[in-house]
Structures are given as structure tokens and as C-alpha cells.
Amino acid sequence: MPNSKVFVTRAIPADGLALLNGQSEVEVDVWPDMLPPTYEELTQRVRDCAGLISLVTDRVDAPLLAAAPNLRVVSQMAVGFDNIDLAAATARRLPVGNTPGVLTDATADFAWALLMAAARRVVEGDRFVRAGHWKAWHPTLLVGLEVHGASLGLIGFGRIGQAVARRARGFDMRVRYYNGSGPVPEAEAASGATYAPLDTLLAESDFLSLHVPLTLATRHLINATALAKVKRGAILVNTARGGVVDQAALHAALTSGRLAAAGLDVTDPEPLPMNSPLLQLENVVIAPHIASGSLQARTRMATMAAENMLAGLRGDRLPYCVNPEVYG
Ligand code: DGY
């Protein structure tokens, strides 16, 4: 591979950086701050690079790509890539990699953590105790909703949706899913989930969990119209992307009682501004986009992103490429 400079937009886990640093032809430039580079800083840093390792926080759009004429590969350390203008990359025959599979279970585990926390008011309880409000056991103190035996509706039934469904078996739940591209019969037996139209899921599920990518078709899929169809008192979990939910409509549903609670790992925007009305609500659990954040998953994601990068720099096909048409 010719001498190649790679910009990495944050200090990714050490195994991934070690792979890159182990190549003498690769010059690695790592953004050192906890906060991401601004769009202008990113554009400036990538200008003379052959490779870019990006994260979900980095806007990689057509002007940025145009400002980096030597770029040969973009490797995203995430499974989602809605921050990247894929059409612009593809038009330039620039391969874009991602990290599918290795974060499936970590993300499914976390969707369950949010579901359980929202249903059983775990975070509210913690706040209550720390504030010194806990004076005695009381029959109606912080009562929540039962999870076992309830119905779970999965919106999106790819790897992560299926992993969430498999976990629901242990809770004896009735699991149904909606999938934009239709039923996935081969995954039904392993997960015990069955297909249902979106409106049926909305109307009949006690818990709804979102597992769709953010696209033009899924932006605000969960809007006021959808939320008006939701079973009164249901709980919504979002580990997909904040933009899938219309947040104003979500706030209205959480205050009217249409939704009993929500568990959110993702918001729109991220981070939420401190004056967001959602932060005033007791019945929302909000995490800072950490569903894939197990040590193991993040290490594998970094390694995979580095492997994609090195393959691209060598001129080989990326092991995980989201625009394989660039090879056609
Ligand atoms: C992803 O991979 O798309 C997550 O949102 C970050 O891990």
C-alpha cells in the first residue's frame, strides 16, 4: 500500500489503533479530544488523508468528501451510517465500511436494560432514594408495569431486533415484529416472533422497541399519528436513532398518559439540550447513546473498523462494505 495518512476522529479502543499503527506505511492522526472535531476541523484534517475512520457524530457529506481528493476509504466505527452521504461516496467510487454483527448482542442487552428500567421505574427509584425521600415501604410506592407475559412489538427485525426477540422468550412474552421489507420467516422460529402490520403492533403492544435504521422512510416513523394508535399505557424503547421519533409528539404522549414511559438511548439532537422538555419528565430514562458500549463490543468495533480501513488502503474489497456497488 502506498504511504497513507488516516484521520481517526476520536481515540478508538486500543486494539483498533494498534492495528493501524502496526502498518509502517500508515500515518495515523487521532483527534485527541473527548468532544468531536467540528465540521470545519474535520474538513481541514481529512483534506490530505487517504483514509477516514468516522463515528456517528461526524457529518461526512458531499462537500467534505469533495475537499478530500485523496480519500480512498471511509470506515465508520458503527453499524449505522446515516451521518455519511452514501450517494456522494458511491458516486466517487469511494468504499464505505461499517461494523455490523459485533454490537448486536450488546445493543439488544441495552434495549432490555432500558425496557426494564422504564417498566419498573429503576432510575426514578434511584433518584428517590438519593434525594432522601425514602421513608418507608409503601404499597403504592413507585409501582411499575409487569414485563413477563406482556406483549412486545419490535419495529425493525434485523440482527438487533431478532436478538431482542430471543431475549423476550425468557420473559414469556408474546413477540411480534414489523419490518419495512416484509416478514423474515427464517428468523421467526429462532426468535419465536411473528410478523404483524405496523398498526397492529402499535395498537396491541405493551412494549414497543425500535430497531430500524434512520432513512428518509423512517424519519419520524413514530410521530403523533402513530402515537395516537398506540395502546394506552404502553412503553417505548429506542436504541435505533433519535430521528425515528418525533420528539415533540413523544413528549405529548408521555405527558398525556398515552405512553406510560420511554427508554431512550438515542435522541434528536444528540446530546439533548439541557432545556429539552423531555428532561423534565420523570417517566423517561435517557442514556447517552451507549447501547453498543460494552468493552467487548467496542473493542471488536474498533478492530473491524481498522481492518476495513487497511483493506481499503491496500485496494482490497472492504470486509464489511455498505456500498459494494463501488466494486461493480
Ligand atoms: C451504531 O453502531 O450505529 C451505534 O449507534 C453506535 O454504536
Question: Using H for helix, E for strand and C for coil, what is the string for 199-266?
Answer: HHHHHHCCEEEECCCCCCCCCCCECHHHHHHCCCCEEEEECCCHHHECHHHHHHHHHHCCEEEEEECC
The answer to whether residues 128 and 134 touch, using CB atoms and an 8 Å cutoff, is: yes
Residue 74: pLDDT above 90? yes
What pLDDT score does 200 carry?
A: 98
* Domain 104-286 falls under CATH 2.40.110.10: no
B/e letters for 259-285, b = 16+ CB within 10 Å, e = fewer, are bbbbbbbbbbeeebeeeeebeebebbb
* Domain 4-102+295-327 falls under CATH 3.30.70.260: no
The model's pLDDT over 192-206, given as tens digits with 9 standing for 90+, comes to 999 999 999 999 999
Three-state SS for 314?
helix
Cell numbers found for residue 5? 495518512
Residue 13: pLDDT above 90? yes
Cell numbers found for residue 39? 465540521
- The answer, yes or no, to whether the previous bond of 319 is cis (omega within 30 of 0) is no
What pLDDT score does 1 carry?
A: 72
User: What average pLDDT does the chain have?
Assistant: 97
The answer to whether residues 76 and 96 touch, using CB atoms and an 8 Å cutoff, is: yes
Say yes or no: CB of residue 245 within 6 Å of ligand 1. no
Phi (first) and psi of residue 175, to 5 degrees: -115, 125
Cell numbers found for residue 26? 500508515
Tell me the CA end-to-end span of the chain in Å, nearest whole number.
Answer: 22
270 in catalytic set: yes
Arithmetic mean of pLDDT, 283-301: 98
Arithmetic mean of pLDDT, 240-253: 98
- For residue 325, what pLDDT band results from cuts at 50, 70 and 90? very high
- Span from the CA of 78 to the centroid of ligand 1 (angstroms): 4
Residue 328: pLDDT above 90? no
289 in catalytic set: yes
- The answer, yes or no, to whether the previous bond of 2 is cis (omega within 30 of 0) is no
Q: Whose CA is nearest to atom 4 of ligand 1?
A: 78
Cell numbers 483527534 correspond to: 31
Beta-bridge partner residues of 273: none
41 in catalytic set: no
Cell numbers found for residue 121? 421505574
- For residue 307, what pLDDT band results from cuts at 50, 70 and 90? very high
3-state helix, strand, coil in the chain (%, to 5): 40, 15, 45
- For residue 137, what pLDDT band results from cuts at 50, 70 and 90? very high
What pLDDT score does 47 carry?
A: 97
Angle at 173 between CA 172 and CA 175, to 5 degrees: 135
Q: Whose CA is nearest to atom 6 of ligand 1?
A: 78
- Span from the CA of 164 to the centroid of ligand 1 (angstroms): 16
Closest ligand 1 atom to residue 293 Cα is 7
Cell numbers found for residue 150? 406482556
- For residue 3, what pLDDT band results from cuts at 50, 70 and 90? confident
Say yes or no: CB of residue 212 within 6 Å of ligand 1. no
B/e letters for 115-145, b = 16+ CB within 10 Å, e = fewer, are bbbbbbbbbbeeeeeeeeeeeeeeeeeeebb
Residues of the chain with CATH 3.40.50.720: 4-102+295-327, 104-286
